[in-house]
Amino acid sequence: MSLESYRRSVSDSKHASILTVALKRFLIDGFSKAAMADIAREADVSTATLYKHFESKEVLFRAVVTNAAAAINDDFGKLPAETTATEFFHKILQDGHATQTKNRVNDLLRIMIAEAGSSPALACNAFEIIVGGRYRRIQAVLDEMVSRGLLKPHDTALGARLALGMIKELFVWPTLFDPATTLPPKAVEQAQEVIDTYLARYGA
């Protein structure tokens, strides 16, 4: 390994360690009370090194949110070959519920809500990364379903919000505000009613 490669490896390792510790501290302390000095100490880096990687606590929080969102986005909202519109919407339900708890995304959203009053730009940025990104991925699949003839041509940006919005009301918001919430016994039947409502308007 060359010296440059070694230095890059060490830098990458420190970067990852900082993100891991920062997630922990933000979840424990919230954004406002989390201290960069504490994060640096727990990540076993100097404060100067921490600021070399992340120039401010706001930048670090955005990186933590982006990192968490990226980890849950690999399979969410993809449309496998031969998938029907109904099967895709069931997949949205299953993936969406799983991603709400994976990588502490729900907890980060709670922090975002708590900080909205004092740091609206930070909260809006986190919302755009997590929620806006999900809408765009679903819109891309709706566009693909339109091109395949599975759905009628329509405003898929609005369609993504309608489809995911109905599902959120049933399954996402309860888990956001009550971590102990589980899917209701009739979740599949309720989800099918949502899907039928959407397809009655936009189904081919």
| CATH code assigned at 111 | 1.10.357
Residue linked to tokens 């940006």: 157
Q: Are residues 125 and 36 in the same domain?
A: no
Q: Assess if residue 89 is contained within a domain.
A: yes
Q: For 18-103, list the strands marked E by DSSP.
A: none
Q: Are residues 90 and 122 in the same domain?
A: yes
159: in domain: yes
Sequence-separated contacts (24+) of 16-22 with Cβ below 8 Å: 17/43, 17/44, 17/45, 18/43, 18/45, 18/50, 18/53, 18/54, 18/60, 19/63, 19/64, 19/67, 22/60, 22/61, 22/63, 22/64
Residues 92 and 193 in one domain: yes
- pLDDT, position 133: 84
* The pLDDT of residue 101 is above 70: no
At residue 123, the pLDDT reads 87
- Identify the domain boundary among 12, 27, 55: 55
- Give the percent of the chain with pLDDT over 70: 84
The domain tally of the chain equals 2
Domain containing 156: what range? Answer: 68-202
Q: Which residues pair with 203 in a beta bridge?
A: 151
